[in-house]
Every structure is written in C-alpha cells, then in structure tokens.
Amino acid sequence: MELRCAVQKYAWGKTGKTSLVAQLSQGNSAAPTVEDDPYAELWMGTHPSGPSVIKSSNEPLLNHLLSNVDSLGDEEKKVFGTDLPFLFKALSVAKALSIQAHPNKKHAEELFATRPDLYKDPNHKPEMVTAWLGPFEALCGFRPVADIKFFLQEIDELAAVVGKSACEALVKAESDSEEMQALRECFSALMNTSEESVASALKQFEQRIPSLSAEKKDALQCDLFTRIAADFPGDVGCWSVYFMNYVVLQEGESMFLGPNVPHAYIFGDCLECMACSDNVVRAGLTPKFKDIDTLCSMLDYQAGPVDRFRMQWSTVDEFCQTCSPPVPDFAMARLRLPASATVDKAYGLPVRSNASILLILQGQATSAETKEDLSFGQVLFLKAGQQLTVRVKGEQDLIVYQAFANV
C-alpha cells in the first residue's frame, strides 16, 4: 500500500526546493512547494502528531492496522500490540536543532503523567540517524574530559560562566565517577547561569575571535561556534560546542542515540528511525520551552569520543544491508540496485516477519507483484510476510530504505 505522509514545517528546516523533505513531499503527495516555507521533517508512521494515511482510501494507517491485525507480525503484536512501534523520518536541517535528550521508558511515563502539556506520550525515544547526500553535522554525547578541560582553560569567557568552583572540581577529578560528577556540576552550572551573564560572555568571546591566530581558531573550533552563535545570539546552547562531540557523518554513515544522550543536529539531510514517540527535553538553541532542571538531572554524563555512538551496517547480499540497534522497537535495511540491473533482472527484497515502511530515495522501478511504477518520494507499507520484487528502470540506481520492528 502506498502512504501519504505528514510534513512538519519547523523553523530550523531547509526552505523550499532546497529541502530534501520538500522534494520527497512532492513525490509523495504532489503538494506544491512554498519556496519561503521551512520543510523540516517527513513523518512515516502512525504517531498522532503526524499520522500517515493510505493514499488510495485516505484511511489513517493506524485505523487500517486496528482492523487488519494480520498486517503485523506475531512477535511484533506480542511485544507492542496493534500499532507500529517505530516512527520513520526524513530531515532537512538548515540550522541547529535544540540541545536535547530523550527520556528512558520509565522517565517518559513519569513526565507524561505529571506534565502532559509538555510531554505528549509515555514512550521512550531511542533513535538512529543516517546521513544522506553529503555530510551531516551534529553534536553528540559529552567530549572526552581532557578536551573539555582544554576549552575551559583556553576560553576565559566560558570558564567565567561555568564558575571557578565547578571548573576546579573538573580539573581535580581523577576517577571516572569523580569526572562524571564534576562534569554534571559544570554543565548544570552553565545551563543555570543568568541569561544576561551568558549573553555578555558570548559577546566578549565573539569579539575576541578575530584577534586569534588561525591555529588557535582551529583548535577552539571557532568556525562552528560562530555559525551557531549567528543563528542563536545570546543563547546558552552556543557553549555546548565545547562540551559535546562534534561529528560529521558522510553519506550512509549512522549513529544510534540511546536514552539521556545529549545531542543537537546542526546541518544536512538525514534519515531517522526511532521508537514511536515525540518526547524531547530541551535546554538550549531553541525558542521553545527549556526544561533545564529535567535535562541536567537526566543526562548521561559519560564522556568519551563520538565513535561509541556509530553503528555498523551488515551485508545481507550484494544489494542489501541491515542495521540493528540495541532496542526492539526498530531496525533498518537499505537496498541499492544498480541501473545496470535493468536488463530482465528482478530483485526480491528480503521478506520481513514484521510490518515495514519503505522510502524510495532515488531512482525508478517496477513492482513485479502489482506492475506499478515506483519512484522518488513514494512511501510504501508492507504487511508482515509480504514480498516485494522490483526491477530497476531508467539510468539511476534504485535506493530504498526500510524500517521495521527489531523483534
């Protein structure tokens, strides 16, 4: 079944036809693109904030699942009930998203019970991000403590807003537990500093940057800092550059972000798969509500290189790969069929024991089962056990990403 999917026009999205999301939306629903509008996210799934509908009938996908429970796999229903446990997205990021983290399942239930106006569902939101079409920039997890100490020593303005006692505690920390506690104190002190003090320190540092040597600017990642500060003047989140790992994912590379991992996407296009939730705790780089106390109390303060978040894809055959993060809610597969396969060669996608959603990211093909053409931007729902066999058309390779429950 072909799906028509929801577009989210958040302020940080790329505008008009420069946005991958806008391009996909045209292929998905033929909706006209408004050039000045930000096209931030395409949602594929059943989440009530952006539910997909069946294109032929306009029936919400969730309604279809409730009345056709055989569409879901037996294990999937046993673990998650009669709804898809994942939400699949495409993102086009023009400027940084908020400094954020997602609660674990127990904490999400508590937040939803006590503050449903801010936290809209009781589910956790582990997520996997995969870069698409060029580099994708992000901040992710706390840097190695040695790096943070270096920045605090080199940037007086940052040390001033963090405070002398917190900085000294981090310098003196020896064991891993002492470092984590000192890092918590430093980050919490930063996030709770008055807006006036933060804005003043940011301005002082920005004014000092031009006088630094090229080598010093590079060491202090001044280009990254000034890009973010230009979009969020006076925002405490600008200082997060010096606490969190900066990572650039190349096309096809992936990261997994578990509960309580601080992160912020900065620029580029990506695909995301996550548990079916929209719970976000924010504390910077956003005009939205900043729940600083909740964020600082819940964060994972384990520090270290960003490589611990990277995911590896496993080869199924010469055309297909899969990636299974350490959660049951979702896994992903991707297919790249070369255009040279157009000569009477059909490929059958591996049959999944659970329901799945497919996004066609490039190329054209014909379905052997329905004889219908498939093309860029189309989103398909396959019920559990359903076969899809495709034959490539045209001169482009066919690229398809697929999301499904990991049980």
> Is 107 labelled as part of a ligand binding site?
no
Single out the residue of 205, 204, 201, 164 nearest to residue 186, CA to CA.
164
DSSP state string for 145-210? HHHHHHHHHH-HHHHHHH-HHHHHHHHH--SHHHHHHHHHHHHHHHHTS-HHHHHHHHHHHHHHGG
Written as six digits, the tokens of 64 are: 């279809």
Look up residue 36 and give its amino acid.
D
Find the catalytic residue in 184, 282, 334, 391: 282
- 308's CB contacts (< 8 A; 6+ apart) are 141
Q: How far apart are CA 243 and CA 161, in angstroms?
A: 13
Packing angle between helix 176-191 and helix 164-172, nearest 10 degrees?
160
Catalytic (active site) residue 282: yes
Sequence-separated (6 or more) residues with CB below 8 Å from residue 116: none
- Please check if 47 is assigned to a binding site: no
CB 234 within 8 A of CB 198: yes
User: Do the bridges between strand 127-142 and strand 86-93 make them parallel or antiparallel, or are there none, so unpaired?
Assistant: unpaired
Q: At what angle do helices 145-154 and 176-191 cross, to 10 degrees?
A: 40
- Provide the annotated binding site: 100, 102, 127, 263
Q: Which residues are catalytic?
A: 282
- Provide the annotated binding site for Zn(2+): 100, 102, 127, 263
